Amino acid sequence: MNKKGNGGVSKVLSQFAILIALIILLIFFSVTTDGFLSTTNIFNIMRQVAVNGIAAVGMTMVIVTGGIDISVGSMMGVASVCCATLMVRGMHPVLAVLLVLLLGLAIGTAHGCFVYDIGLPPMIATLATMSILRGVTYIISGGLPVYGFPEGFNVIGQGYIGPVPVPVIIMVICFVIGWFILERTSFGRYVYGVGSNREASRLSGVNVRKVIYGVYGLCGMLAAMSGVVLLSRVNSGQPKAGESYEMDIITAVVLGGVSTNGGEGRIGNVIIGLLLMGVLLNGMVMMNIPDYYQRVVKGFVLLLAISYDKLSQKRANKK
């Protein structure tokens, strides 16, 4: 009976480990820093989280299929610079944003082609495009910030609807759509099926090629949307925009319980992973911890999250 009880406690702790970690971080930073729980700082955290959160929706779908896209940061950069350049040259902001989203969709679809049709490992395919896209960003911008577009565009990254920042609203809409796709559509069921067993899904009649193309295409488009929000927030197209963001996004998704082996994870839990990363980074900034120490901490968090995922998989296989 005691063993059963202990097992029940362990199961509960395992399920709520990420939430417990978030609460501990909130308590720690609220005690060690002044103004951490102020309304201004809370909204600041939410705005910071929103940029990564939009891209995390697409990343969740990709990882659920057993893949990965480490080019999302570079996609954000090229989307930011392209959108800024188009507007500076006289294009209407709405049309510029739509074209950039289509660009992200096209690049993501190309990733699907590399992964499914050519058979490249997802990490290798997206590593190559990560380098290509970053180079293209510098070529387009000449290595300099692009600015001077219409002020109304700033609403996307800096505006509010009531007390809520517009980027947060965009992120919530993306999460709701992502949840609906994964939990309430046949495509979502196929995504989980492909991640669990691609060959079995194919034999059961699932168009695996369509699923792979779809998730990578959505990931690219949402990364481009994140780049647009980031552009609006900082008010200039920076060639370094989105640099290293892919690490924060992947860490948040894995912390949210999405298995790197594919087939497992719920998009709702990714929100907690995002908040944990947002609180951690914001708290370290408020404590004046240098950027290079922050990189060390983020690396350890990602390593711990992936290690926990793998150990959980091993325990499940033994049972």
As beta bridge partners, residue 160 has: 165
**pLDDT for position 1:** 44
The pLDDT tens digits of the residues spanning 111-145 come to 999 999 999 999 999 999 999 999 999 999 999 99
Residue 120 lies in a domain: yes
Residue 50 lies in a domain: no
- Residue 5: which H helix or E strand, with range? helix 2-15
Region 294-312 average pLDDT: 82
Residue 102 lies in a domain: yes
Read off the pTM. Answer: 0.91
Residue 293 lies in a domain: no
Residue 38 lies in a domain: no
pLDDT category, 210, cuts 50, 70, 90? very high
Residue 283 lies in a domain: no
Residue 88 lies in a domain: yes
Residue 39 lies in a domain: no
Domain of 183 in residue numbering reads as: 59-248
Q: Is the pLDDT of residue 267 over 60?
A: yes
**pLDDT for position 151:** 81
The pLDDT tens digits of the residues spanning 147-159 come to 888 888 999 999 9
- At 125, list the tokens: 């395919």
Count how many domains the chain has: 1
